[in-house]
Amino acid sequence: MGKLINLDNLNLANKKVFLRVDFNVPIVNGEVTDELRIQAAEPTIRYLLDKDCAIILASHLGRPEGKPVESLSLKPIAGILSEILDRRVDFIDDCIGEKVQKKTDELIGGEILLLENLRFHAGEEANDPKFARQLANLAQIYVDDAFAAIHRNHASIVGVAQLLPHAAGKLVEEEYQTLTKLLEDPPKPFSAVIGGAKVSTKIDVLDNLIDKVDSLVIGGAMANTFLTSLGHNMADSVVEQDCLTQAKEIYQKAVSGGLEVILPSDFLVAKEISQNVDTHLAELDEIKPGEKALDLGPKSSQQIAKVVDKSHSIFWNGTLGYAEIAKFATASLDLAHVMIASEAETVIGGGDTAAFVDQYNLHSKFGFVSTGGGASLELLAGKKLPGIEMLKS
């Protein structure tokens, strides 16, 4: 898949570095509520500080659609990062312009400046060459450590890398190596557990993985679509009607190739999605009209546990039920604990799954937790990611 240019390949001593990070973190009333993505940038920042670099940090936050939005300012992050690094991190309220250029010109080795949200300018998402040039003019070296955004053809991901000597940061390098190993040389048997709500967002990764895994577990609401495509009655459960044909084709391709495919056989069902609703267990094809499957039942969890127990590597993306509500998080928690207890190499595929294991303080117990949901899935689907392609030697 090609080798990434890494930090060791560049002469960084005393250089001014434009470091693209992913600080797209939840901020509520001006307070950062999850610091994990900020913490993930620390190894690269410290590496650059050891080289006496001046560091210009750049990130997006949310979807401001090309104009300033006060609630999406990166300013609160400067204080958090100062605490993590135990050193001053300055903030400036724009990412281009004379004021920014002057400030970056004055930076000396060991100083850190956090720019304002890149997406406050439409040129970021448009990969506008003029915007990219203005960003590139701030520094001498470009480093990309924003894995969660590396599948975007944006100015700070692609445009700046075309204009400056460049390398992958520590996080991007680790993400790429870990995920490509799953595709190229995973410890066998290799199992994938794919859940979440939509088949439509995971068709490509399912199609690519069925040639590489030994067992495939399908859970979450997307299992309803697979089961419906095979003729089962899922009552009022969420089903993607326009994905039934594709789901059936993937299932048949997997089975005909000798792959073990695990679909749920029992469910926790309810008439509505809420913490206080009455629930009961139902076998497959016994869900009553008006009821929805909102989590997997114990028989399904036991079957999944057997797959985990015999695996030497496991990739998990997508919760197995409506895990935002604790009542419907049981199967996902069961899976998490079984994976943690196993001796297999465990990889969590970012996004909602990473948020789930973080919520239950389980992050550190897995072998690797990706910071990028969409990026990790696109990489595992065999797609070329614009930012990764820029960083290859």
Residue-wise pLDDT tens digits, 246-292: 999 999 999 999 999 999 999 999 999 999 999 999 999 999 999 99
Which positions ≥6 away from 149 have C-beta within 8 Å?
A: 20, 22, 24, 60, 157, 372, 375, 387
| Neighbouring C-beta atoms of residue 8, cutoff 10 Å | 9
Distances in whole angstroms, Cα of residue 205 to Cα of each of 199, 376, 378, 388: 10, 10, 7, 18
257 is catalytic: no
Beta carbons of 220 and 321 less than 8 angstroms apart: yes
Residues 133, 198, 248, 383: which is the catalytic one?
Answer: 198
Beta carbons of 157 and 146 less than 8 angstroms apart: yes
Beta bridge partners of 6: 168
Sequence ranges of the domains in the chain = 7-171, 186-380
Q: Does 186-380 match 7-171 at the fold level?
A: yes
Which positions ≥6 away from 353 have C-beta within 8 Å?
A: 195, 196, 316, 317, 318, 319, 373
Token representation of residue 165: 């000597």
Distances in whole angstroms, Cα of residue 84 to Cα of each of 45, 80, 121, 147, 370: 11, 6, 28, 20, 20
Which regions of the chain are under pLDDT 50? none
62 is catalytic: no
2 is catalytic: no
- 12-26 per-residue burial string, b: 16 or more CB within 10 A, e: under 16: beebbbbbbbbbbbe
Q: How far apart are CA 81 and CA 41, in angstroms?
A: 10
Residues 15, 16, 20, 37: which is the catalytic one?
Answer: 37
Residues 62, 374, 382, 383: which is the catalytic one?
Answer: 374
How much is the pLDDT for 273? 94
How much is the pLDDT for 2? 65
Which positions ≥6 away from 231 have C-beta within 8 Å?
A: none
Residues 351, 372, 373, 387: which is the catalytic one?
Answer: 351
The conformation of residue 126, written as its DSSP 8-state character, comes to T
CATH of 7-171, one of 3.40.50.1260, 3.40.50.920, 3.40.50.720, 2.40.110.10: 3.40.50.1260
170 is catalytic: no
Fold annotation for 186-380: Rossmann fold (3.40.50)
Q: Is 57 helix (H, G, I), strand (E, B) or coil?
A: strand
DSSP per residue, 299-354: HHHHHHHHHHHT-SEEEEES-SS-TTSGGG-HHHHHHHHHHHHSSSEEEE-SHHHH
Q: How far apart are CA 313 and CA 266, in angstroms?
A: 26
How much is the pLDDT for 157? 98
Exposed, middle or buried, 385 (CB in 10 Å: 0-12/13-18/19+)? buried
How much is the pLDDT for 373? 86
Using CA atoms of 43, 49, 51, 52 in order, give the dihedral in degrees to the nearest 10.
170
Range list of β-strands (E), 139-208: 141-144, 166-168, 190-194
Beta carbons of 235 and 290 less than 8 angstroms apart: yes
Q: How far apart are CA 340 and CA 122, in angstroms?
A: 43
